[in-house]
A and B are shown apart, each in its own frame.
Chain A
Amino acid sequence: MTLFKQIALLLSLFLLTILTTVLILNFQSANKGVQDRLYEDAKNTATSLSLSLGSANGDLSMMSTMINANFDSGNYRNITLLDVDNIALYDRTIEGDITAIPEWFFNAIKIEAPIASANVSAGWSQVGILRVQSDATYAYKQLYAILIDLVISFCVIASLSLIIINLLIHAILRPLREVQKQASAVIRNEFIIQNTIPYTKEFKDVVLGMNNMVSKVKAMFDKGNEELKMHKELEYIDQNTSLKNRQYLIDRLPEYLKIDASSKGGINIIVALSGMIEANEKLGHQDVDKLFLKIADIFRSNSKIFKNSIVARINPTEFSLLLPDCTSEKGLGIAKDIYDNITNEIEESGLNKDETFVSLGLYAYNHTDTIAQLFSNSDNALAQAKFNKNNIHLVKTENINEVMGKEAWKKIINQALLKNRFNFVSWSVIDTRAKKLEHHVLSINLALDKSTSYSYAQFMAPAIQTGLSNNVYKNVVSMLFKTPDMILSHSTYSLRLPYEYLDMKETYEEIRELLKNKALPFKLIIEMPDKMVRKDSQHIKLYKDLFQKYGIEIGIFEFIGESDDYQYLQELRPVYIKAESSYFVNQSAQSLSALRLITDSISISLIAVGVMDMKTVDELEKKGIYIIQGLATEQIEI
């Protein structure tokens, strides 16, 4: 219960108690007043009637008449004349007929009209005593009217008072609401500085304290951001050519070489410059550096037509051009163009083209290759190129004899989509230091029938090739929300959604509809690619707001720290960042420290994926990375 409600309840109860007490006391006072009045009336009658009776000289018939005359006026319940021996000489009594008031009131309020007495004498002689009791009917009516008036007054006063109390508490506690808003923001790792400082001292101290704290955390984040940006430049950029370096290429490659990569393959061209020692001797370092800049421009102009291409200087004399979705023919054409242009530049710079020359090894990679295979085959192609007449050589991997052709896969996947033949499988993400399970990562299997099933790794590549991958993801997300019982454990699950799927216009609306109709019985983290969250801020904001509304958290995967500004992490506030284990292992201490400064200040966990063995676990732990995903988790007992 909020403090506002507690105070409002307490004050309301206090007020109602006071008002009720006042009402009761008022009613009791009125009750007493009415009863006193009953007695006074009876007493007046007793005295005056007793004097009148004295004039009857003891004549009972006359006295009875006198008593009747008084009694019949209707204001008395009882008039009794007793003789000197206390024997009733004459008695008149009526039963009260109270119809003007409700029965409950009559039963609740017992009014006993007091009896007033007076001596009656005739001359010097004693006649007896006259007893008079007033009729309580009038008192009941009067009291009931008083009660109604009091209750109406009570209701009006109580309503007005409660409204005033409510307004007052609202006014007094308004600064507290701001403080609460700020505290909630801090919990959500949002940094709000409250500019309106409350007047109340306690609230003022809290606001100033929180402002101070928020400022410090914000400064910490900004410092980390600046440092990381600075380190990233050193880490990923070749200083001479401003091209990316080998580290960058290695960190980016996992995004291209994976089962569900958006591109199924392409060409990797390794360009090697020979005779650079001689060139340096002949031209000097400065002119050679200029030559490298020109060569870099040639690479850029030839690779820019390929979306997501990477041009990197992998050592002082070798460059790599990763061209996704580039065919062998196109690759050879580009290679020829590069060769000619560089050769021209060499000649124009006054160098001997037989002494200083360029070799281009082309490797037609497949997205299922490993990084080692890519480099090995590329090197092999380069080695061959150096012996070729035109210094260009293309190596192609032999096509794997697939068990099934494209059409067969298309049929299977379509069938699975139609009959909903996908099953969820999960594996663990583990904190190696705390020895505890962080969350489960969800994946899917395709179970065609009881005896035939395909793993994600088996069916996803054909799905991409046949253009069905987005349909598969659509089905998976739908399955997650429509039949959440397929996941038994009430734990935390993460689901990775690729760029292509999230980028589709209809995806947002579909997920929104699913969320609207069904609540999940487990905590869900949707993992989004770093490439998307750092670039497509408007699109991501929509997803963020949607997920936040339904308590779904966001994780980032394929992080390589490539951004120009890490502010997007603060805006998105993911629960974790997942990066390849090699990324963390190869980071410099300064760079990782800057990243930690950012993530620690807004409580983002760092998770290493693809951790295959305990050796890597040790390396990661030395770098301060304790949460891992991959085969190594099976070797850790929790």
Chain B
Amino acid sequence: MFKLRVLILLSLLLVNTTFSSEDYVEKPLLDEIAQKYKVFAKKRFFLLQETLNSVKDKSDLEKLEAVNKFFNDVRYSSDMKIYNMRDYWATPWEFLGKDMGDCEDYVISKYFALKYLGIDYKKLFFTYVRSTKFKEPHMVLTYFETPRSEPLILDNNNHKIFSASQRKDLTPIYNFNGDVLNQIGKDTKKSHKKWDQLKLNMKRKKI
């Protein structure tokens, strides 16, 4: 009886949800995700689309809040456990499909979702930090309103967005934006090994 209810609910959701060509995840890819990660994964992507749609015309801050909140609900797990690798940068589809990931997977998914919502990618940086609380390397997504302004920190450990000065538990090490570097190094199409591999995986629609 419970299963029937779930199916009815999903059917209604399917009917009510309209997909356009501008969807974050296009239908063929969504079908493949559903096939691989089963129906609940597909549901997560519907919910992501709903979340993104809900803030589409809102301010940058509201977009940051919505995206940060949505992805911070995903469970944390190490790359070794999920992918049997020490360090792996997962595509947003792998991250949400598996519904788990480590810090850089949160950063990646947040980055591409915010880019989808129209936030200038030059404002967003993958920032390598050191967590003084956990005494370990960590990565957060930073948002610079202007190039010289203080950044906002989107962190999967601390779910609330704070300005950098409020995050005394984090020591910044290095900011990185692959798209910016790609734009400069037009000839090589190479900028950063992990980033380059991620872009390739996304191009191949790795799920």
A residues sitting closer than 8 Å to B (CB atoms) are 39, 43, 50-51, 54, 84-85, 112, 114-119, 121, 123-126, 129, 131
Q: Which B residues are in CB contact (< 8 Å) with A119?
A: 125, 174-177, 180-181
* Given A84-B147, A124-B142, A126-B144, also A117-B184 (CB < 8 A): yes
Q: Which A residues are in CB contact (< 8 Å) with B190?
A: 39, 43
Q: Within the complex, what minimum Cβ distance (angstroms) separates B115 from chain A? A: 17
Q: Which B residues are in CB contact (< 8 Å) with A131?
A: 184
B residues sitting closer than 8 Å to A (CB atoms) are 125, 127, 142, 144, 147-148, 150-151, 164, 172-177, 180-181, 184-185, 187-188, 190-191
Q: Tell me, in angstroms, the Cα distance from A121 to B187 when the chains sit together.
A: 24
- The residue in chain A whose Cβ has the minimal distance to the Cβ of B126 is A119
Could you give 23 example pairs across A and B, Cβ below 8 Å? Answer: A50-B174, A51-B173, A54-B173, A84-B147, A112-B187, A115-B185, A116-B185, A116-B191, A117-B184, A117-B191, A118-B181, A119-B174, A119-B175, A119-B177, A119-B180, A124-B142, A124-B150, A124-B164, A124-B172, A126-B125, A126-B144, A126-B148, A129-B181
Q: Within the complex, what minimum Cβ distance (angstroms) separates A115 from chain B? A: 6
Q: Within the complex, what minimum Cβ distance (angstroms) separates A83 from chain B? A: 8
Instruction: Choose among A51, A84, A114, A121 the residue that contacts B185 (Cβ–Cβ < 8 A).
Output: A114
- The residue in chain B whose Cβ has the minimal distance to the Cβ of A121 is B175
Q: Tell me, in angstroms, the Cα distance from A234 to B127 when the chains sit together.
A: 126
Instruction: Choose among B147, B181, B185, B188 the residue that contacts A126 (Cβ–Cβ < 8 A).
Output: B147
Given contacts A112-B187, A115-B188, 16 further A-B contacts (CB under 8 A): A50-B174, A85-B147, A116-B188, A119-B125, A119-B175, A119-B177, A119-B180, A121-B125, A121-B127, A121-B172, A125-B148, A125-B150, A126-B125, A126-B144, A126-B147, A126-B175
Q: Within the complex, what minimum Cβ distance (angstroms) separates B128 from chain A? A: 9
Q: Tell me, in angstroms, the Cα distance from A121 to B173 when the chains sit together.
A: 8
Q: Tell me, in angstroms, the Cα distance from A50 to B127 when the chains sit together.
A: 14
**Cross-chain contact A115 with B184 (CB below 8 angstroms):** yes
Q: Which A residues are in CB contact (< 8 Å) with B173?
A: 51, 54
Q: Which B residues are in CB contact (< 8 Å) with A54?
A: 173-174
**Cross-chain contact B180 with A129 (CB below 8 angstroms):** yes
Q: Which A residues are in CB contact (< 8 Å) with B142?
A: 124
Q: Which B residues are in CB contact (< 8 Å) with A124?
A: 127, 142, 150-151, 164, 172, 175
Q: Within the complex, what minimum Cβ distance (angstroms) separates A85 from chain B? A: 7
Q: Tell me, in angstroms, the Cα distance from A117 to B125 when the chains sit together.
A: 15
Q: Which A residues are in CB contact (< 8 Å) with B180?
A: 119, 129
**Cross-chain contact B181 with A117 (CB below 8 angstroms):** yes
Most chain A CB atoms below 10 A, which of B173, B176, B184: B184
**Cross-chain contact A121 with B188 (CB below 8 angstroms):** no
- The residue in chain A whose Cβ has the minimal distance to the Cβ of B175 is A121
Q: Which A residues are in CB contact (< 8 Å) with B188?
A: 39, 114-116
Q: Tell me, in angstroms, the Cα distance from A115 to B173 when the chains sit together.
A: 24
**Cross-chain contact B184 with A84 (CB below 8 angstroms):** no
Q: Which B residues are in CB contact (< 8 Å) with A125?
A: 148, 150
- The residue in chain B whose Cβ has the minimal distance to the Cβ of A47 is B192
Q: Tell me, in angstroms, the Cα distance from A84 to B177 when the chains sit together.
A: 12
Q: Tell me, in angstroms, the Cα distance from A114 to B176 when the chains sit together.
A: 20
Q: Which A residues are in CB contact (< 8 Å) with B181?
A: 117-119, 129
Q: Tell me, in angstroms, the Cα distance from A123 to B142 when the chains sit together.
A: 12
Q: Within the complex, what minimum Cβ distance (angstroms) separates B125 from chain A? A: 7
Q: Within the complex, what minimum Cβ distance (angstroms) separates B90 from chain A? A: 22
Q: Which B residues are in CB contact (< 8 Å) with A129?
A: 180-181, 184
Q: Tell me, in angstroms, the Cα distance from A126 to B188 when the chains sit together.
A: 24
Q: Tell me, in angstroms, the Cα distance from A1 to B136 when the chains sit together.
A: 82
> Which 3 A/B pairs are nearest by Cβ-Cβ distance?
A84-B147, A121-B175, A124-B164
**Cross-chain contact A115 with B187 (CB below 8 angstroms):** yes
Q: Tell me, in angstroms, the Cα distance from A120 to B188 when the chains sit together.
A: 20
Q: Tell me, in angstroms, the Cα distance from A119 to B173 when the chains sit together.
A: 11
Q: Which A residues are in CB contact (< 8 Å) with B174?
A: 50-51, 54, 119, 121
**Cross-chain contact B175 with A84 (CB below 8 angstroms):** no
**Cross-chain contact A123 with B172 (CB below 8 angstroms):** yes
Q: Tell me, in angstroms, the Cα distance from A50 to B190 when the chains sit together.
A: 17
- The residue in chain B whose Cβ has the minimal distance to the Cβ of A85 is B147
Q: Which B residues are in CB contact (< 8 Å) with A116?
A: 185, 188, 191
Q: Which B residues are in CB contact (< 8 Å) with A115?
A: 184-185, 187-188
**Cross-chain contact A114 with B187 (CB below 8 angstroms):** yes
Q: Which B residues are in CB contact (< 8 Å) with A123?
A: 172
Q: Which A residues are in CB contact (< 8 Å) with B147?
A: 84-85, 126
Q: Tell me, in angstroms, the Cα distance from A252 to B127 when the chains sit together.
A: 126
Q: Which B residues are in CB contact (< 8 Å) with A85?
A: 147
Q: Tell me, in angstroms, the Cα distance from A125 to B172 when the chains sit together.
A: 9
- The residue in chain A whose Cβ has the minimal distance to the Cβ of B176 is A119
Q: Which A residues are in CB contact (< 8 Å) with B172?
A: 121, 123-124
Q: Tell me, in angstroms, the Cα distance from A43 to B150 when the chains sit together.
A: 28
- The residue in chain A whose Cβ has the minimal distance to the Cβ of B187 is A114
Q: Tell me, in angstroms, the Cα distance from A43 to B184 when the chains sit together.
A: 13
Q: Which B residues are in CB contact (< 8 Å) with A126?
A: 125, 144, 147-148, 175
Q: Which B residues are in CB contact (< 8 Å) with A43?
A: 190
